[in-house]
Structures are given as structure tokens and as C-alpha cells.
Structure 1
Amino acid sequence: MPKTIRKTPEQKLLLEQLKTVAEGLGQTLAPFCEVVVHDLLDPRHAIAAIHNNLSGREPGGPATELGLARIGDPDYPAVLANYANRFADGRQAKSTSIGVKDSTGRYVAALCINVDLTMFHGLQSVLEQFGRVAGGAAGPLESLDPVGADGIRRRIDQYAARLSSTPRALKADERRALIAELREAGCLDVRRAMEIIAQHLGVSRATVYGYAK
């Protein structure tokens, strides 16, 4: 891990301005978009600010591999847009990373935007279901037999989409109603169902068990 570099007044100003930009983006793109400012001059404690925390990281966390690549190569691309990414709990994300240089050409900081795609996947499923027509005898629109982890996550995404929300932004009463729907669909009988649900909602398994009582 590269060592911390003492900042010049110019570098400090760039970092503070980028924090302001990140705050504005975070407020605009909530709740499904995480905005992170990385201090590339302090790689051991690179996360200088994080808004709409979807990844579970904290300020003061270390630089990512991409950040280290920028630190080591001033010719590294300044903008990497819309690349596939994934949160630690398996949720799919779309990310954009923007590097910021000082007047000497050194990378000082990076602004990273991580979009949680689960809400949009849920909305896509709802729209597909709404536009579907049946020929002849109408049957069930969806079958979760055999149901698995992907089926549980899909049902959670669809439930959140109906509320114009994301799984992690659901309120306690909405989570209880969700668990009731999952029980009725037989999803709670799936092996490791509580763990899958807890990860997708961003809560503990104990919390999910409490909702299921």
C-alpha cells in the first residue's frame, strides 16, 4: 500500500470541492445510488466521504484496486463509466469512477458512483408482468417452483418496486408485510431463506426471524 502524501493547499481545495459535489449528487440520486469520494493521497484511509451507503464501507476505509491503479499510473483513464460491479452481498451494481488531478498531473482524488440495479430490475419485472397478455386459459404469471435464492431476491425486488423503493430502504412494517408474502409463496421453506432475505434487505437474520413471528 503506498504511503500517505502530505497535501498542498491546492490538493486540499480540490478534495473539499469534490466532497461538496458528492454531497449534492448523493442527495439527488438517493436512495439507489452510492456516491464515494476517495482521497488518493491517503490510500490507507482513502474513503473521505460516502453518501447513501449501500456497500457497508465506512469513512477511513482503504483504497480500492482501481484507486491503487490510479495512484501508480498518472496515465490511467480519468473516466471509467458504467462498468459492471457487485456489492459484497451479491447485489448487482453499475459503477462510474472519475479521477481528479492537480496542476502537476498527479491523481489527487476520485469520485465513484455505484448504482444499485436491484430496484431497476424489480421495476423491469413489474413492467413486463403488467404488459403481459395471456392467450386462451390464463395461467400464473410467474412460477417459483422450484424456488431458490434468485427467486426470493426477485420477489423482494418486485415488492420494493411496487412501493417505489429499494429492498434496503423498506420500513419495518413494509418488511413485515414482505415476509408475510414470502411465507405465503413458500419462500421461507427454502434452505438458507432467512439468510438470503437478511442479506438482500441489509438487516440481521435475527431481525428477519422477528418479522416472521
Structure 2
Amino acid sequence: MKKTTKEANKEQALLLEQVNQIAQGLGETFAPFCEVVVHDLLHPDHAILAIYNNLSGRDVGSPATELGMARVTDSEFPQIVSNYANQLPDGRQIKSTSIGIKDSRGRYIAALCLNVDLSLFRGLQNVLEQFGMIGALLNISESIRPGTSAAGQVRIDPIRIQPVGGGSETICARIDQFAALHATTPRALKSAQRRALVRELKSAGFLNIRKSMETVAQYLGVSRATVYNDAR
């Protein structure tokens, strides 16, 4: 028996509401590193119905993506597209999964999309790699020489600490490690955590690297003035 337009609309509305509930639950479970988006493909011009753990900077009411439009125009488009490479506007690498939702007539009416920020996991990977390495990020040198000081103790020259490398990648790797140790992402650090990070970078000599302030500010998603204040 063919459904009436009213019945079809009721079914679609119910499906959208259920998908939204699932999205909210996923968002709460995988915060802060997983953005969860509900797309209403019945209205592709303003498709985003809900967005949780917003990483991409989009708003509710933003239009459908190319993937969403492909489903709108082709009901045979794959229902699940998983773990494909994607990128946030600020350059962070993410992996995405998109799940199409069909009604009883086989028409795509919605999509549930998950975008995972990989920086936290790369930070954890860096932590593990550093644990098994010597001198990964810092070049520490000291000299213990024979002889005694005026107090009769062994004389030890000052320890010199210099960051290895010196590029923005070194700074970003250190930020990733700090965030991973706090089970979060660089841009989700709380103010107190961010201040502790910046002071740690300063004490280790990372802020002496050329354009380090700009690198830190961009990676944390704050202004340079904020970084300067945190470093005081």
C-alpha cells in the first residue's frame, strides 16, 4: 500500500529526529575530538540540521557537501563511505565517515557524518615514540669536570638545553604531546592548561624559535596576544 504524502513526511521527520538523537549521543561519547553532523538531505540548501563538537566552524543551516548532493541525486550512491581523508579549514587532518539514511521508499533523506580530529592520536603516538627514544625533542648537554668548587663539591657546568630541529613541526609535535597527556586536543585545552603549555614551551626554549608565537597561536586557535600574555 502506497503511503500518502502526509505519512511519508511523518516517517521522514521521525527518522531525522532519531538520527539527531544518535548524533547527540555519539557527540557526547567522543567529545572533544569527533565532530558529529546531521544533514537533512530533503533540504540540501540548508542541510545541516545539527552539529556536535563543532570542529569545522560550520553553522546549523549550512548547505550540503558534495557527498550529500551525490546522495540527493542518486539513491544508489553507497550508503556508507568510511574513513576517508579530509581536512579542516585550519589545515588539521581528519578522517571522516558518512552514513546515508533512507526512508521506506529507498530515498536518501539524511546523512550522519563523523569527522575525527587526528591530532590527539598523533600526539599520543608521539608520546609513545618519545618514551622509547633518547633526545627526541631536546638536545641536552652538560659537562662534569674534575676538581672542586669553593664549597668542596664536584664542579658541574650549567646544563644547556636547545630544541632539536627548530621548525614549526617541532613546536606542533610538542603541543600535540601536551594535549594528548591531558586527553584532549590542542584547541580544546582549557585556559589554565594552555598557560601551562606556553610556559613549558618557553622554559624549554621553543619560544626562541623564529615565528614560534605565530605557530603556537595558530595551532591553538588563539591570538598572538593571548600567547604573549600566557608566556609572561
Q: TM-score range by the shorter chain?
A: 0.7 to 0.9
Give aligned pairs, total: 202
Range that drifts further, 142-151 or 106-115? 142-151
Match of 1:100 in 2: 101
Matches within 5 A, 1:180-199: 180-199=199-218
Structure 2 stretches lacking a partner, 5+ long: 1-5, 139-162
- Distance, in Å, in 1 between the alignment partners of 2:202 and 2:75 is 54
The answer to which of 143-152 and 117-126 deviates more is 143-152
State the partner residue of 1:14.
15
Alpha-carbon separation, structure 2, partners of 1:78 and 1:30:
25
1:49 and 1:195 map into 2 onto residues whose CA distance is 33
Equivalent position SS for 1:97:
strand
- Note if contact 2:83-2:97 (Cα within 8 Å) is conserved in structure 1: yes
The answer on 1:141 being equivalent to 2:142 is: no
Identity of aligned residues (%): 61
Residue ranges of structure 1 left out of the alignment (5+ in a row): 1-5, 133-138
Structural mapping, 1:132-211, within 5 Å = 132=133, 140-143=135-138, 144-211=163-230
| 1:72 corresponding residue in structure 2 | 73
Partner SS for 1:199: helix
Match of 1:124 in 2: 125
Deviation at 1:191, TM superposition (A): 4.4
Q: How many Å apart are 1:112 and its aligned residue? A: 0.4
Give how far 1:8 is off.
1.5
Question: CA shift at 1:104, angstroms?
Answer: 1.9
TM-score (norm 1): 0.86
CA distance in 1, matches of 2:11, 2:167: 53
Partner of 2:57: 56
User: Structure 2-normalised TM-score?
Assistant: 0.80
TM-superposed CA distance for 1:207, in Å, is 2.3
State the AA in 1 paired with 2:41: L
Gap change, CA 1:189 and 1:68, over 3 Å in 2: farther
Match of 2:155 in 1: none
Q: CA deviation at 1:195?
A: 3.2
Q: 1 CA distance for matches of 2:73 and 2:231?
A: 50
Instruction: Please report how far the alpha carbon of residue 149 of structure 1 lies from its aligned counterpart in structure 2 after TM superposition.
Output: 2.1
SS in 2 for 1:85: strand
Counterpart CA distance in 1 for 2:203 and 2:18 is: 51
Deviations along 1:94-146, whole A, 9 cap, x unmatched?
111000111222211100011111111111111122233xxxxxx52325543
Deviation at 1:194, TM superposition (A): 2.9
> What is the deviation of 1:25?
0.7
| Structure having the higher Rg | 2
1:39/1:166 Cα in 2 relative to 1: closer, same or farther (>3 Å)?
Answer: same
- Structure having the higher strand fraction is 2
Indicate the RMSD between aligned Cα atoms, in angstroms.
2.0
Higher RCO (CA 8 Å, separation ≥ 6 residues): 1
For 1:176 and 1:86, how far apart are their aligned partners in 2? 27
Secondary structure, counterpart of 1:69 in structure 2: helix
| Residue identity matched to 2:201 | L
TM-fit CA distance, 1:19: 0.3
SS of structure 1 residue aligned to 2:166: coil
In 2, Cα distance between equivalents of 1:125 and 1:22: 30
